[in-house]
Amino acid sequence: PYPILWYRQNTTRMRILLSMTRAEVLAELDLRLMEFESHKTAAKKWHLSPQYLSDVLNGRRAPGQKLLRALKLRRVEAYECIS
């Protein structure tokens, strides 16, 4: 499978194009979750259900728009030229 392109906004508010796999997005999510005392607290702060957050962390669901916004990411569909 091809990596998904995500845009991430850095601290200077400039956009940087990063190509991240879903695993890398989940790794970023794990890092951000360390800022909270529990997953439930993070879900509440990000206006998500704890079950949805658990589903994403366990690979049962893809990260959605609200969660990506909390991570300062967005999903971008991309096309490549073939020879």
pLDDT digits (tens, 9 = 90+) for 39-80: 999 999 999 999 999 999 999 999 999 999 999 888 887 777
Q: What average pLDDT does this structure show over 4-32?
A: 69
Whether the per-residue pLDDT at 5 is higher than 90: the answer is no
pLDDT of residue 42: 97
Angle, helix 22-33 to helix 50-57, in steps of 10 degrees: 130
pLDDT of 22 reads 86
Q: Sign (positive/negative) of CA torsion 43, 61, 15, 3?
A: positive
Per-residue pLDDT, 77: 78
For tokens 């879903």, the residue is: 22
